[in-house]
Structure 1
Amino acid sequence: MTTYDPASGLRVPTRDDDLERRTSLLHELGLLDVESDSELDEIAGFLGEAAGQPWAMVNFITDQQRFPGLYVAPDALPVARSMPLTHGYCPDVLHRPVAMVLPHLHSHPRLKSNPVVDGLGVLTYSGAPLIHHQLGLCFGTVCFIGDAPMDQSTGQRSLAQVNAARDEALAVIDRRARERGLL
C-alpha cells in the first residue's frame, strides 16, 4: 500500500523487502551499472512513438528510479535518467500485479499533484510492472507519460502498449539472465 504525506502530497517510502535482491540481480545482469542501454532505449522509443507520447521509460527501481531505457520526443522537455522514489507513479506500480493506466491524472485528486506532474506538466500515465516470474521478482516498470490528458476510451490501447513493451523488456532481462547462468 502506498502512503502519501498530506502536507506535501509526496509518496512516503515504505519498506521494500525486495530492494537488496533486486539491486543485486540488476548488477549481476549488467543493467544497473550503465546509464543507458541501447536495447532498452529502443524499447522505450518504440513505446513512446506507438503511444504518441513525449516520454517513455524502462525503469529499474532501487534506492531511486533509474531509466536505462529512455525516450524523449524531439520537442519535449529533457528529463534525467534517474529520479527520486517520491516522484512519479512507477513506485506505485512496482508492487501491483498488473499495469496501471491513468488517462487523466486530474481526475484522481490524490494523483493530480506530484513533482513530475508539476515540473513537466504530466497529465497522463500508463505503466506495467516488470515481473520476472522465474526469478520471482519485480525489477521495475515500463511506462509512458504525456502532457495532454487522454480520453478514457484509450485505456485498452494504452494497456496493450505498455504490456507489449513490458514483454520486450522482460525478454531482454531473461536473455541476459540465461547468458549469465542465473536461470
Structure 2
Amino acid sequence: MSAPIPYTQFDPTSYLLLTPEDSDAPARVARLRELGIGDTPVPEFDDFARELARITGAPYAMVNFIDENRQYFAGLYTPGEGQSGVELDPQQAQPGRVMSRDHGYCPHVIVRRKALVLEDVCDYPRFAGNPVVDEIGIRSYLGAPLIDHTGMAIGTICVVDQEPRPWGRQGLETIKSMAAQLVEGINQRDLGLRR
C-alpha cells in the first residue's frame, strides 16, 4: 500500500495574477546600459509613441523598458484635455513614466517574447486581476517585444485603451511591424555607439 499523498492547500487563482519570472532581467539591464536607454525620456521614443497612437487609434502608447523591479516608459504618448497629446519635458522623468513590474502586461510580453493582443482584458482571468484594471481602468492592450540584433528582448511597445478594442489580426500585424521598425532604429543607434 502506498503512502498517503500529503495535503497541500491549492488556490486555483493564485497562479493567474503572478507576474512571470524574468531570468533575463539582469542581462537586459546591462544591455540597456550599453545602449544608453531606459532611465530617461527619449524624444525620438516619444515621437514613436505618438505615431503608434495615431496609427492604431489608441489613446495611450508606450515604449517600455523593464528591469527587475520596474517598468520605464522612455517613450510615452497620453491624451491631454483639448490637445492631441501631452508634451513631456525630455530632460527629466515625469510622473507616469515609471510603473511597478507587477502592473500591466508588458512583463508578460517580454518574457514570452511574443506579441499579446487583449481586446478586453476582462475576458482573460489571468489578466483581468492585474492592478491596472482597477487602478487605471485599462480594458484593452496590444503589445509586442523589442528584440535587438543580439537576440535580447530589451523592451516592449504597446497601446492601451480604457474601452474594449477589436484589435484583430490587423492590430497584431501593425504592432509587430512597428516593433520591428523601432528595433531597426535601436540597432542603428547601437552601431553608432560602437563606432
Global fold match (TM > 0.5): yes
Alpha-carbon distance in structure 2 between the residues aligned to 1:74 and 1:58: 18
Secondary structure of the residue aligned to 1:110 is helix
The CA deviation string for residues 94-133 of structure 1, in whole angstroms up to 9 with x for no partner, is 122321111111111221122111122111000001112x
Secondary structure of the residue aligned to 2:147 is strand
CA pair 21-7 structure 1, distance change in 2 beyond 3 A: closer
Alpha-carbon distance in structure 2 between the residues aligned to 1:74 and 1:82: 19
**Which structure features the higher share of strand residues?**
1
1:178 aligns with 2:191: yes
- Give 1 or 2 for the bigger CA radius of gyration: 2
> Under a length normalisation based on structure 1, what TM-score does the superposition of the two structures give?
0.85
Partner residue, 1:122: 138
What count of residue pairs does the alignment treat as equivalent? 174
Partner residue, 2:111: 95
- One-letter amino acid of the structure 2 residue matched with residue 124 of structure 1: S
Alpha-carbon distance in structure 2 between the residues aligned to 1:117 and 1:8: 18
CA pair 19-148 structure 1, distance change in 2 beyond 3 A: same
> Under a length normalisation based on structure 2, what TM-score does the superposition of the two structures give?
0.80
Quote the offset at 1:9 in angstroms: 6.3
Question: Of 44, 55, 63, which aligns to 1:58?
Answer: 63
RMSD over aligned CA atoms reads: 2.6
Alpha-carbon distance in structure 1 between the residues aligned to 2:19 and 2:120: 23
Segments of 5+ residues of structure 2 without an aligned counterpart are: 1-10, 87-93
Quote the offset at 1:139 in angstroms: 0.5
- One-letter amino acid of the structure 2 residue matched with residue 108 of structure 1: Y
Q: Is the 8 A contact 1:58 1:169 kept in 2?
A: no
Give the alignment of 1:40-55 within 5 angstroms: 40-55=45-60
1:17 aligns with 2:23: yes
Alpha-carbon distance in structure 2 between the residues aligned to 1:10 and 1:110: 6
Give identity over the alignment, percent: 36
